């Protein structure tokens, strides 16, 4: 199979490419990535001689058309992904997430190529803190931030291209990922690298907000299941029953790193901060038999901390600039 991976130099995409090269030697991987601040060649360095990396923007219709024409399937990860950045400047989110997805859709339509579109649970908005409710494929879209609104827009384009043009596409909406190669702007790597650089971790508001954590490898295994056996036109929710408050995740990180559990700062809350995400993944489990392998969150977190300890050269050059930007925003 010739596989085109958009955004393969970012966090989830790079882990996806690593796993694909490791576990599926019959797959020829081409990555298209604009190598924005969030993507890096270094994330693909361990597999550099096994893949083709094309530096380019997914809104470049000519380039995307050429690469899609050479592929049997496309897995579409490329996007602007950080909510705080979207609040500060939404324009790149409309560009990459909406126009970019439109460009990919037009190319797969022209060439009859199978597409899997990677999306987020944030399109469903948020849930009350103390309720048994979880998101399902039938939950109405209700995005809160410019990031989630543009991802929702992209999902709607995919649905319309399936129905109107018969494009062979599936969609997945996953919860919060953690693992190696995640940018230090994101919650878990930010706190780990704050400790490693002698800074105090930073918690938005009271830390009561809940996220549903899944290891990136479990997400990517689900993407492969859907790409292989998913029903065209169908949306699959991916989650691993990993609900935890931000405060409890932060305290676990501090404990695992040998720090006092109260050794952190409360900082300005995020505007419009979603309270709680929670995924009901039963359709994916029942229909495609997917199960998460990383069911011990603390063990996954310990391994992730170890990865950041051992790979300082990957994240260190980014750290000071990220913290300077947060400081400007009072976070
Ligand atoms: P990331 O920010 O780490 O990586 C995104 C990658 O896309 C980067 O390599 C960047 O250079 C590339 N990119 C951005 N705009 C581009 C453009 N116009 N053209 C080409 N490349 C471009 O993001 P991530 O966390 O790896 O997320 C990947 C996908 O998964 C996104 O679609 C995101 O919405 C979705 N998702 C993420 C999570 C999560 O917890 N991180 C959860 C569910 C879904
Ligand atoms: O749910 C899936 C989504 O998860 C993905 O679609 C997004 O691309 C991804 O960034 C993530 O979004 P979140 O906004 O949930 O992730 P983030 O890592 O930015 O923050 C997680 C929680 O931690 C959130 O409630 C905000 C809080 N937070 C974040 C940072 C960076 C803090 O308390 N302190 C921080 O320093």
- Site to substitute for ligand 1 among 4, 11, 58, most atoms within 8 A of C-beta: 11
Alpha carbon of residue 279 to chain centroid:
15
Confidence of residue 168 (pLDDT cuts 50, 70, 90): very high
Mean pLDDT of the chain: 98
CA distance 60 to 46: 27
Q: How far is the centre of ligand 2, averaged over its atoms, from the C-alpha of 187 (Å)?
A: 5
Average of per-residue pLDDT across 207-225: 98
List all residues 6 or more positions away from 329 whose beta carbon is below 8 Å from its beta carbon: 84, 88, 268
CA distance 240 to 219: 9
Residue 130 predicted with pLDDT over 90: no
Average of per-residue pLDDT across 301-305: 98
CA distance 297 to 242: 7
Q: How far is the centre of ligand 2, averaged over its atoms, from the C-alpha of 162 (Å)?
A: 30
Task: CATH number for 2-183+213-242+277-295: choose from 3.40.50.300, 3.40.718.10, 1.20.1050.140, 3.40.50.720.
Answer: 3.40.50.720
Closest listed ligand to the CA of 200: 2
pTM: 0.99
Closest listed ligand to the CA of 38: 1
- Site to substitute for ligand 2 among 135, 153, 176, most atoms within 8 A of C-beta: 176
User: Across the chain, which distance is largest between two alpha carbons, in Å?
Assistant: 57
Rg (CA), the chain: 19
pLDDT at 91: 98
The catalytic site residues sit at: 121-122, 147
CA-181 nearest atom, ligand 1: 3
Q: How far is the centre of ligand 1, averaged over its atoms, from the C-alpha of 101 (Å)?
A: 12
Residue 135 predicted with pLDDT over 90: yes
Q: How far is the centre of ligand 2, averaged over its atoms, from the C-alpha of 115 (Å)?
A: 27
pLDDT at 249: 98
Contact 47, 18 (CB under 8 A): yes
């Amino acid at each position: 199979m010739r596989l085109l991976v958009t955004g393969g130099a970012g966090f989830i995409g790079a882990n996806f490419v690593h796993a694909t090269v490791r576990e599926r030697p019959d797959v020829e991987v081409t990555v298209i990535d604009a190598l924005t601040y969030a993507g890096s060649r270094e994330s693909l360095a361990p597999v550099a001689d096994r893949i083709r990396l094309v530096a380019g923007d997914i809104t470049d219709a000519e380039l995307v058309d050429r690469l899609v024409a050479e592929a049997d399937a496309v897995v579409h990860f490329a996007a602007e992904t950080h909510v705080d950045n979207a609040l500060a400047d939404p324009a790149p989110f409309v560009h990459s997430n909406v126009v970019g997805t439109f460009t990919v859709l037009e190319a797969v339509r022209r060439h009859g190529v199978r597409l899997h579109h990677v999306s987020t649970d944030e399109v469903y908005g948020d849930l009350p803190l103390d309720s048994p409710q979880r998101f399902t494929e039938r939950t109405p879209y209700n995005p809160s931030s410019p990031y989630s609104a543009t991802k929702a827009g992209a999902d709607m384009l995919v649905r319309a291209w399936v129905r109107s043009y018969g494009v062979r596409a599936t969609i997945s909406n996953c919860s919060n990922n953690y693992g190696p190669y995640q940018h230090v702007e994101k919650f878990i790597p930010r706190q780990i690298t704050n400790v490693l650089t002698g800074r105090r971790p930073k918690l938005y508001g009271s830390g009561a907000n809940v996220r549903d954590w899944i290891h990136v490898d479990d997400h990517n295994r689900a993407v492969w299941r859907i790409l292989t056996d998913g029903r065209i036109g169908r949306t699959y929710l991916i989650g691993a029953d990993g609900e935890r408050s931000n405060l409890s995740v932060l305290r676990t990180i501090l404990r695992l790193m040998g720090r006092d559990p109260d050794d952190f700062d409360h900082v300005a809350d995020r505007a419009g901060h979603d309270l709680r995400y929670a995924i009901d993944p039963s359709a994916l489990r029942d229909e495609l038999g997917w199960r998460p392998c990383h069911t011990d969150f603390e063990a996954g977190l310990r391994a992730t901390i170890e990865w950041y300890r051992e790979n300082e050269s990957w994240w260190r050059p980014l750290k000071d600039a990220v913290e300077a930007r947060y400081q400007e925003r009072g976070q």
